[in-house]
Amino acid sequence: MKKKYLFLISIISLLTLSLHAQLGGRYAYSFLEQSVSARITALGGNVAAIEDDDINLGFVNPSLINPGMDNMLGFNYINSFAGFNFGSLQYANTFEKAGSFLATLQFMDYGKFDLADETGNINGSFGASDFALNIGWGRRLDSLFSIGATAKLIYSFYESYTSFGLAVDVAGTYYSKSGWVMSLVARNIGTQLTTYTSGVRDPLPFNIQYVISKRLDHVPFRFHLIYDHIEKWDLTYDDPANPSAGFDPITGEAQYNTGFAKIGDQFMRHLVFGAELYLGKNFTLRGGYNYRRRQELKINNKTGMVGFSWGFGIRIYKFKINYSRATYSLVGSPNYLTLVFDMNSFIKK
């Protein structure tokens, strides 16, 4: 029976990999890649393999949706750069025979922009936003395996340009008897139903991710490791203003990694490291490091903390509050705030 589960997950991965091989270039709905959970952001990535009742885990990995999330409500809000904001609203419910479900409304508001004609004259303003309504389902098959899927209805508008799309995530998780949790997640398999402009259909931000975590037996510590973009090896971006090996100090010419250094750099761009330190039952410290983010966004002569993230979680009364910051540039770090509570705890028995 276990072999059948593994075979199913393998087939799904191969099918989605084949689909992605036909796609290339730019893609639509990039907001789907953004982490909206303070906890997930603090760990450095946008996916997780952790066994508990945090509904934000089910949002990024539907195979983690479980009965422990029943009747929970969650809010995520991020105050980002240049006046744009994004976040989500989530609710979970469990049905005995059908399994556990998680509904999420995800949004990204880019604010207002000046509307100018070709000569530069301002003629009012316009808005731009992205939305996704996600319905996720998860079910535990036995003590070792769980599966899940999320369907996404996507709406996007930028001034007078609009687009509708459909996508799905599929995932499987293995829980070892020794406490290891391992997930394989294929995200954003889908298409644009209507395009921004006629005749131009862009692919979605497809990604296959492998993620593993383990809470240590005798130390209140969990480590978290993501291998991002299984479907594509070379994730490097050659920026002439920021070459991978810097500039020659004598000639000033751009230098790039070669040989083993190049292979090592390409491999590291797939890895995201995270950790949680549990300080009692009601307080958790978190941190993460995203190598690819650091390489793509750093400035060589002043790298700062680009690529690093940190945060904490605290339980106050019946509420779980998570806060985090992720450094994308030297300009500053967005603030991520999450509030989760169990609605059952407010019902008098």
Kind of pairing between the strands at 271-278 and 283-290: antiparallel
Q: What is the pLDDT of residue 240?
A: 66
Q: What is the 3-state secondary structure (H, E, C) of 254-316?
A: ECCCCHHHHHHHHHHCCEEEEEEEECCCCEEEEEEEEHHHHHHHCECCECCCCCEEEEEEEEE
Query: How is residue 170 written in tokens?
Result: 């599929």
- Give the integer Cα–Cα distance in Å for 271 and 262: 15
Distance between first and last Cα of the chain: 41
Q: What is the pLDDT of residue 328?
A: 83
Spans of the chain below 50 pLDDT: 1-25
Q: What is the pLDDT of residue 244?
A: 64
